[in-house]
């Protein structure tokens, strides 16, 4: 998305908005097929006895749409493996956690706490059930903290954090979520990473005075698995953090995104 020229990006941004009330329904069919194929190959739910694969398109008010689609598990593993986490210090926060796929994968990393913020009560309850069922031997963090609430009302703590976003909301909400994070980082400077999968509104992060991009990756022909990672200034010290540089792109895959 960031590789498109600004005019094309503007033209395609609206139609490619998975959360749109009209086009969201069309994308739902696509997402349904995609998730079905992905579950057949990765068998995430089949292996763990969870319910994370099937997309959900809910509409509770005229203007309120909950579109749940799970992130591809292997993409979350790939991204989190690339972040230099100090064990048991970082909080993982998934804004728009849906059925909890990203929370479950994050629990295989040494986070101090895993927070899920989800507006839909129905999806929030499914995520709570999934957490009870997900007990792989490789799990490193079982300190889950799930909230059924609007992302705009979430207050960050004092800990270093990884904020995970898989296309959870439209532009205006994302703008406010980022502004809240920036205010928190300015008030209490600490290490922080923002992982944004399917980064259709990445320009909001590009304009940040606090965050800067350290990584871009994901298969070129799978826009839903492309991602960017941003770091707060204090989190990107040195080469270890994977500062943005062609040698740090996920070019191991021949279809990885390398243009920016
Ligand atoms: C594409 S799904 C992401 C699911 C999950 N993060 C994952 O990776 O598997 C987006 C989720 O964001 C939720 N959402 C949308 N707007 C929200 C808001 N304002 N506050 C909290 N959650 C929201 C939707 O209900 C949906 O479950």
Report pLDDT digits (tens) over 69-94: 899 999 999 999 999 999 999 999 99
The answer to whether residue 40 sits within a structural domain is: no
75 contacts 225 by C-beta, under 8 angstroms: yes
**190-198 mean pLDDT:** 97
Kindly give the number of the ligand 1 atom that is closest to the alpha carbon of 173.
Answer: 19
* Domains identified in the chain, total number: 1
The answer to whether residue 182 sits within a structural domain is: yes
Report pLDDT digits (tens) over 108-142: 999 999 999 999 999 999 999 999 999 999 999 99
The answer to whether residue 96 sits within a structural domain is: yes
Position 9 confidence tier, pLDDT thresholds 50, 70, 90: low
Residue 218 has pLDDT above 80, yes or no: yes
The answer to whether residue 200 sits within a structural domain is: yes
Residue 171: CATH number of its domain? 3.40.50.150
Ligand 1 pocket, 118 CB below 6 A?
yes
The answer to whether residue 95 sits within a structural domain is: yes
Ligand 1 pocket, 151 CB below 6 A?
yes
Domain that holds residue 104: 69-248
The answer to whether residue 260 sits within a structural domain is: no
Ligand 1 pocket, 169 CB below 6 A?
yes
Ligand 1 pocket, 197 CB below 6 A?
no
Output the 3-class SS for the chain. Answer: CCCCCHHHHHHHHCCCCCCCCCHHHHHHHHHHHHHHHHHHHHCHHHHHCCCCCCCEEEECCCCCEEEECCCCHHHHHHHHHCCCCCCCCCEEEEECCCCCHHHHHHCCCCCCEEEEEECCHHHHHHHHHHHHHCCCCCCCCCCEEEEECCHHHCCCCCCCEEEEEECCCCHHHHHHHHHHHHHHHHHCCCCEEEEEECCCCCHHHHCCCCEEEEEEECECCCHHHCEEEEEEHHHCCCHHHCCCCHHHCCCCCCCECCCC
Q: What is the distance in A from the centroid of ligand 1 to the CA of 32?
A: 16
How confident is the model at residue 216, as a pLDDT? 97
Q: What is the distance in A from the centroid of ligand 1 to the CA of 169?
A: 7
- pTM of the entire predicted model: 0.84
Beta-bridged to residue 196, according to DSSP, are 165, 228
The answer to whether residue 233 sits within a structural domain is: yes
Nearest C-alpha to atom 27 of ligand 1 is from which residue? 98
The answer to whether residue 36 sits within a structural domain is: no
What distance in Å separates the CA atoms of residue 18 and residue 24, rounded to the nearest whole number? 5
Residue 26 has pLDDT above 90, yes or no: no
Kindly give the number of the ligand 1 atom that is closest to the alpha carbon of 120.
Answer: 25
Q: Which of 168, 195, 224 to mutate to test the pocket of ligand 1 (most atoms within 8 A of CB)?
A: 168
Nearest C-alpha to atom 25 of ligand 1 is from which residue? 66
């Amino acid at each position: 998305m960031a590789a498109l020229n600004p005019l094309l990006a503007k033209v395609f941004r609206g139609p490619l908005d998975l959360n749109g009330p009209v086009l969201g329904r069309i994308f739902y069919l696509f997402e349904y097929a995609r998730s079905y194929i992905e579950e057949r190959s990765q068998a995430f739910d089949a292996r763990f006895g969870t319910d994370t694969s099937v997309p959900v398109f809910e509409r509770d008010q005229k203007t309120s749409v909950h579109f749940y689609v799970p992130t591809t598990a292997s993409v979350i593993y790939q991204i989190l493996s690339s972040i230099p986490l100090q064990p048991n210090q970082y909080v993982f926060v998934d804004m728009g956690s849906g059925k909890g796929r990203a929370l479950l994968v994050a629990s295989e990393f040494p986070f101090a706490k895993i927070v899920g913020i989800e507006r839909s009560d129905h999806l929030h309850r499914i995520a709570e059930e999934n957490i009870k069922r997900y007990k792989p031997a490789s799990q490193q963090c079982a300190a889950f903290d799930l909230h059924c609430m609007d992302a705009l009302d979430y207050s960050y703590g004092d800990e270093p954090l990884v904020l995970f976003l898989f296309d959870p909301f439209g532009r205006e909400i994302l703008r406010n979520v980022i502004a809240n994070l920036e205010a928190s980082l300015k008030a209490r400077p600490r290490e922080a990473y923002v992982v944004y999968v399917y980064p259709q509104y990445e320009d909001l992060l590009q304009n940040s005075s606090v965050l800067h991009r350290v990584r871009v990756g994901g298969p070129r022909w799978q826009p839903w698995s492309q991602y960017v990672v941003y770091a707060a200034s204090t989190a990107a010290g040195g080469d270890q953090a994977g500062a943005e540089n062609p040698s740090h792109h996920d070019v191991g895959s021949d279809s990885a995104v390398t243009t920016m």
